[in-house]
Amino acid sequence: MGRGLVNWDPIDQTVLANEQIDDQGHSWRSGAKVEKKYLRQWYIKTTAYSKSLSDGLKELNPEYWRDIISLQRNWIGKCTGTRLDFVLKNGDDTMTDPLSVFTDHPEALYGVSHIALSPDHRFNDPQYYRLKDTGESKSADRLLTIEAVHPITGDRIPIIISNSQEEMIEVCLGIPSLSQHDLECAEKFGFTFKEVIDSDGNIMNSEQ
């Protein structure tokens, strides 16, 4: 169980899937304007069953279920990575809930320079801004007082609110060896990091 950002129907008092929201951001059933809300909830690890779920769609008759098959196949997707839980620190205080991050590149974990959160994340709150009243544009990236603890080294990992984060990706590992954008962000804030990919694409500077 953990806290997560959900689509909330204020009339039906229920959580909605993205597919249950129309292009104007209204609930397909009640017509209410859907809100973003953080709730404690159970998570089902559907990625562990992605192959069997996808294979099961082959048993449906495409003549009748073509649109549903396409929708479900896109929803199920493919699991090519893993989810990591990071303990969070705000100063000397350990926060109650860990930060869960999905990554396609767990092998590059030693090369993390920062963690980027979308503007919709609950930590995008002035109480967590490292710099107060700077007059920065609302579109500027913000460094937070909250830091993540590297699950292997124990080092503190900076966390930022990034306005370049895609809407559907709420939390993302910044790995400069894999991303030019992450490299530019790390250099902008002065974050330290290890190069973990050599010129031939092999892993380096990662303990075995």
pLDDT recorded at residue 1? 60
- Arithmetic mean of pLDDT, 122-144: 79
The residue among 4 and 130 whose pLDDT is bigger is 130
pLDDT recorded at residue 109? 95
Strand, helix or coil for residue 146: strand
pLDDT recorded at residue 40? 80
pLDDT recorded at residue 116? 96
User: Can you say whether the dihedral through the CA atoms of 37, 42, 43, 46 is positive or negative?
Assistant: negative
C-alpha 87: how far from chain center:
15
Least confidently predicted of 5-14, 47-56, 59-68, 146-155: 47-56
- pTM score, whole prediction: 0.71
pLDDT recorded at residue 74? 79
For residue 164, pLDDT beyond 90: no
Q: Where are the domains of the chain?
A: 2-41, 46-76, 82-189
Q: Give the count of alpha carbons within 13 A of 82, CB side only.
A: 7
pLDDT recorded at residue 162? 92
- Arithmetic mean of pLDDT, 4-33: 92
Q: Are 175 and 183 in contact (CB under 8 A)?
A: no
Please give the CATH superfamily to which domain 82-189 belongs. Valyl/Leucyl/Isoleucyl-tRNA synthetase, editing domain (3.90.740.10)
CA-to-CA distance for 161 and 34, rounded, in angstroms?
23
pLDDT recorded at residue 81? 80
